[in-house]
Amino acid sequence: MSEGLPVGPMAADLKGKRAIVTGAATGIGRAIARALALHGVAVAVADLSADGAATVAEELGGDALSLQVDVRERPSVEAMFAALEQRWGGYDIVIANAGVSTMNRAIDLTDEEWNFNFDVNIRGIFLTNQIAARYFLAKHSADSKGVIVNTASLAAKVGAPLLAHYSASKFAVLGWTQGLARELAPHGIRVNAIAPGLTDTAQPRYGNNDTELIEMARATIPLGGRLLTPDQIARTAVFLASDESDATTGQVIHVNGGAYMP
């Protein structure tokens, strides 16, 4: 992955840093892991799928490593970070990307569906952020404070039929991100979120295998009328992880092709 390393401020800022990306076996998480590695970052690929994480880490090569994690469970998240400290002596960048969604009418939702979305999408971010923040407060130096980037969604600003529960969980991500950012800002630790729009990934939440749903989604995107790619989201994550965004905290960066314009 070292071939084609970009030459520029972000590459200089990030080279030699250590990052962990959750939900990195596929889709947006995989793209973020690849983009960070291309900028000289040692990347830990974390995912519920041990095989998927191992495959991506092998693709990245270099210092990349794979970790299995269930972001819903505190002992699992604690073990993930402990493994990083043991292997690398610490970490500098945390990308809390793991997320899920199901589709169902609000009146038909089961408790299991509601809990599944909230347990992964917001409890997972809470646990990942909290443990990382404790480490950053205790261990980081004046020169390297630590960065947290959370993955939200267009659904965190625009509710949609069949996704009310998913949308609610992603709204919670933004509230948590802003609150944590205010607490950590005096210590120089930055916390931001990315809100991807409709992205062409393997996750079927928007019916990627349903032509009619895809066409409906494209019609809502002014910029080109096409779904975003994971790489387009990843470039924003790299920016937020780098010193190029050193005055940015508590923000949500919308990457959605103009589908939502605040």
By annotation, the residues acting in catalysis are: 166
Cα–Cα distance for residue pair 201/187, rounded to 1 Å: 36
Q: How far is CA 94 from CA 29, 37, 177, 210, 221, in A?
A: 12, 14, 13, 34, 30
**Which stretches in the chain have pLDDT values below 70?**
1-8, 142-143, 202-218, 225
- In this predicted model, what pLDDT tens digit does every residue of 214-232 receive, in sequence order? 666 667 777 776 778 899 9
Q: How far is CA 233 from CA 23, 196, 250, in A?
A: 14, 6, 18
The domains of the chain are located at: 9-255
Place of tokens 């005055």: 247
Cα–Cα distance for residue pair 233/230, rounded to 1 Å: 5
Q: Are 24 and 49 in contact (CB under 8 A)?
A: no
State the pLDDT at residue 160: 85
CATH class of the domain comprising 9-255: alpha beta
Q: Which residues fall within 8 angstroms of residue 225, CB to CB, at 6 or more apart?
A: 218, 219
State the pLDDT at residue 214: 65
Residue 40 CB-half CA count within 13 A: 14
State the pLDDT at residue 204: 46
Main-chain dihedrals φ then ψ at residue 18, nearest 5 degrees? -120, 130
